[in-house]
A and B are shown apart, each in its own frame.
Chain A
Amino acid sequence: MPVFSYLAYPKRGAKEQLLKDLASLDYCEATPADNEEILILVTDTPDEDQEKALQKKLKELNSLESLGMTFGHVDQ
């Protein structure tokens, strides 16, 4: 049951779109900063297969510039 958190950087002017895109994905919770072009993303997937599938979907998001991981935990 992996839990990760990231700082999500949107492409220029795409912060709102990125928030919508992340909100539409399962296992994702995104919160935008009020005064910076950045979001906090927390993912909480049930198993590693779902985690890999989610990572793939995240990479396909057009509104996402990059992700900086800040926390990671996987139950053994």
Chain B
Amino acid sequence: MSITRRSFIKTMALNSAAAAAATLFPGISFGAWKSLDQASGGMQWKKTPCRFCGTGCGLLVGVSGERAVAVKGDPNCTVNKGLCCVKGYHSVQILYGEDRITKALVRKNGQLVETPLKEALDLVATKMQETIKSHGNYRRLCFLQAVQGLYRHQQPGSQCPPVHGQCRNRVFNQLRPGRAHGLL
């Protein structure tokens, strides 16, 4: 992260105004605080969902240049209200883990071949479109749940949901809980 003298002064200006406002109006809320942070130029906070489970927590990821450098819970997200679990708080470190999988294995002519992730995802998208065209939306939803379940199992330290228990992903649960889990 690079921060200039100018952006530092500007951040101080923002903080001073916010502190004065909080003194005059206890409980005052600035929902657009993210844009204030961005104005300082040091780091931009990007809104994103947490990718680790189906709870649906909202995160704010601090980006400097092209690198994610910080993470915090989104205070405007009604699910986690500004908090994260330990997995959410470590999600940025995991992005740059040395043992992170950077290539996919795609079966070509019966052999698993290392393939760039973009190409593999394009292949998944193509297959999904073919499935939707031939079988309709319901099968597409089941497919998504299967992918998400597999993804959970691959996360070190993550809690896998019980195969025949209650799924935390309410959308899929409401649609067809038994069938969706059956694909896991």
Contacts and interface: CB of A to CB of B under 8 A. Distances in A.
Interface of A: 1, 3-7, 29, 31-36, 38, 40-42, 44, 68, 70-71, 73
B102 to A, nearest CB: 39
A34 B21 contact: no
A40 B27 contact: no
Contacts of A4: 13
| Chain B at the A interface: SS class | helix
Nearest to B40: A42
A40 B6 contact: no
B17 A7 contact: yes
B63 interface: no
B29 A5 contact: no
Interface of B: 6, 9-10, 12-14, 16-21, 24-25, 27-33, 35-36, 39
Contact of B13 (A1, A35, A36, A73): A73
Contacts of A73: 9, 12-13
Given A33-B21, A33-B28, 10 more contacts: A3-B13, A7-B24, A33-B25, A36-B25, A36-B28, A40-B14, A42-B10, A42-B13, A71-B12, A71-B13
Contacts of A7: 17, 20-21, 24
A52 to B, nearest CB: 18
A42 B21 contact: no
B10 A31 contact: no
Contact of A6 (B10, B17, B32, B39): B17
Contacts of A6: 17
B29 A34 contact: yes
A33 B6 contact: no
A71 B30 contact: no
